[in-house]
Amino acid sequence: MFKKIIKGGNRKSSKAEPNSASLYDYSQAANRNSGSVLAAPDVVVNHASRGAAGPIGQSAGTATPVMGPPSGNIEPLPSFRDVPVAERQNLFLRKLRACCFQFDFTDMMKSVREKEIKRQALVELVEYIQSGSGKINEHCQEEMIRMTSVNIFRCLPPASHENTGQESGDPEEEDMYMDPSWPHLQLVYELLLRYIVSSDTDTKVAKKYIDHSFVLKLLDLFDSEDLREREYLKTILHRIYGKFMVHRPFIRKAINNIFYRFIYETERHSGIAELLEILGSIINGFALPMKEEHKLFLVRALIPLHKPKSIAMYHQQLSYCITQFVEKDYKLADTVIRGLLKYWPVTNCQKEVLFLAELEEVLEATQAAEFQRCMVPLFRQIARCLNSSHFQVAERSLFLWNNEHIVSLIAQNRTVILPVIFESLESNIEGHWNQAVHGLTGNVQKMFMEMDSDLFAECQRQYMEKLIKAQEVEEQRQLTWKRLADAAAQGGDHMIIA
């Protein structure tokens, strides 16, 4: 059990710099000492604007400590409407510092009064920012980001598969995790979101505190198993991407790195769907002609995301991103289709159904020239799907002929495509166990006959010749075995007589 706790603690800790370790350590120490409220001592938060050493190209420097409340108790503060306007900035700071207290939510009956005081203070901070009644100065902004950091940047609990010791499982069958500290966390996230989207927020000032280090730690939190937290993170990161143009290349690169680690190392991450949802919106806004950097992202990250077993958890968002690329630049269709064929599942039928659905969306945005480049390997794979004993795979592949655009592409290239899939169609008609597949196959054959009856007749003739040859080969094989058996029997009789 101890090893599991250590493993879980190490697994999901946010990537803080060495001199910001107190951001995570102080609460545990205070909890051991007091057992109720966890007071924040000197909390260090690094910012690129101050030259803190960061993971990607940040310069070295010093960070300013934030002093927590002087005692181990948290007391209620007056409401903003109860103090003069001139004193509200100071009250704002006092409330921020009071909200740096951390509480133990594993026992809901512990420190109930103090938890409610902090919750009320957070509610008032959110309302103050949302009302826009007073523009907060730079010092207040810095303190607010520090308070946010103290509360949200934390070690995530061990994932459910780590607790159970199971290496693989269906995430859809697992119970949804609900963070017990969410009553406070939600308000902190709401405060951060309101600050970012506020028209009063000056990006030139805010980017000093919402810097690369802050963004990386936000991205680390996407591995939270709490869906509510990931939804807030998705919205906040999307807003940061839209408002802070200077961060855009960095955010894209950092998301790429998360994908690489997921694909090639862990195959475990809770927030892939949310990250892809953000990227779907970003891809939608790409300017044309598309940069080489974006095409590399498609080839190196998005297409390989078809490899992990857990693709069902994020396939809808992945398919949208892939289709966006093809709609933006139709010349990428060949690259995408060949990428799908490269990662096509061999034994996972449910995954095959997902691939076929995505393939239909890609083909709908594909033009004739790109279709011709990949149609032979593509329809060889479709032919295998047509013959699948899993009726959903066979059925989904036959549904491709319900799409008018795909049918028009097939009709233009029928002389190549029909010979590739004819045998699979005949095999379904002759022996597939599912009646729905049998009926759909008949419809597809009828469609080809209407397209080109001569071609269909020629394919049928070649198919019959192939069957006759196969039958002759089989008869010759059986005859050869019979001769061998007779020779062996005669040799055995001679040995007995001798």
Whether residue 237 has pLDDT greater than 50: yes
CA distance 43 to 8: 24
Phi, psi of 51 (to 5 degrees): 80, 25
* % of the chain exceeding 90 in pLDDT: 67
Whether residue 22 has pLDDT greater than 60: no
Give the type of residue at 331. Answer: K
Q: Any long-range contacts for 175-179 (C-beta under 8 Å, 24+ apart)? A: 176/225, 176/227, 177/225, 177/226, 178/226, 178/228, 179/224, 179/226, 179/228, 179/229
| 301-357 pLDDT per residue, tens | 999 999 999 999 999 999 999 999 999 999 999 999 999 999 999 999 999 999 999
Whether residue 246 has pLDDT greater than 70: yes
Domain ranges of the chain: 1-156+179-243, 249-366, 404-498
| 24-64 pLDDT per residue, tens | 333 333 333 333 344 343 333 333 333 333 333 333 333 33
Q: What does the angle CA 217 – CA 44 – CA 252 come to, to the nearest 5 degrees?
A: 20
pTM of the entire predicted model: 0.80
User: Which of 475, 392, 467, 395 is CA-nearest to residue 426?
Assistant: 467
CA distance 265 to 375: 33
Concatenating the DSSP letter of every residue in 106-136 gives SSTTTTHHHHHHHHHHHHHHHHHHHHTSS--
Cβ neighbours of residue 189 closer than 8 Å, sequence gap 6 or more: 152, 229, 232, 233, 236
Question: What is the predicted pLDDT for the residue at 175?
Answer: 66
CA distance 367 to 327: 10
Q: Which two tokens stand for residue 311?
A: 């693709």
Class for domain 1-156+179-243, per CATH? mainly alpha
Whether residue 371 has pLDDT greater than 70: yes
Question: What is the predicted pLDDT for the residue at 159?
Answer: 72
Which of the residue ranges 19-23, 280-284, 319-323 would you say has the lowest mean pLDDT?
A: 19-23
| 126-141 pLDDT per residue, tens | 999 988 776 788 999 9
Provide the pLDDT confidence category of residue 67 given band limits of 50, 70 and 90: very low
User: Which of 287, 195, 204, 213 is CA-nearest to residue 245?
Assistant: 204
Q: What does the angle CA 138 – CA 254 – CA 244 come to, to the nearest 5 degrees?
A: 35
Average pLDDT value for residue range 388-413 = 96
Question: What is the predicted pLDDT for the residue at 476?
Answer: 93
Average pLDDT value for residue range 193-205 = 92
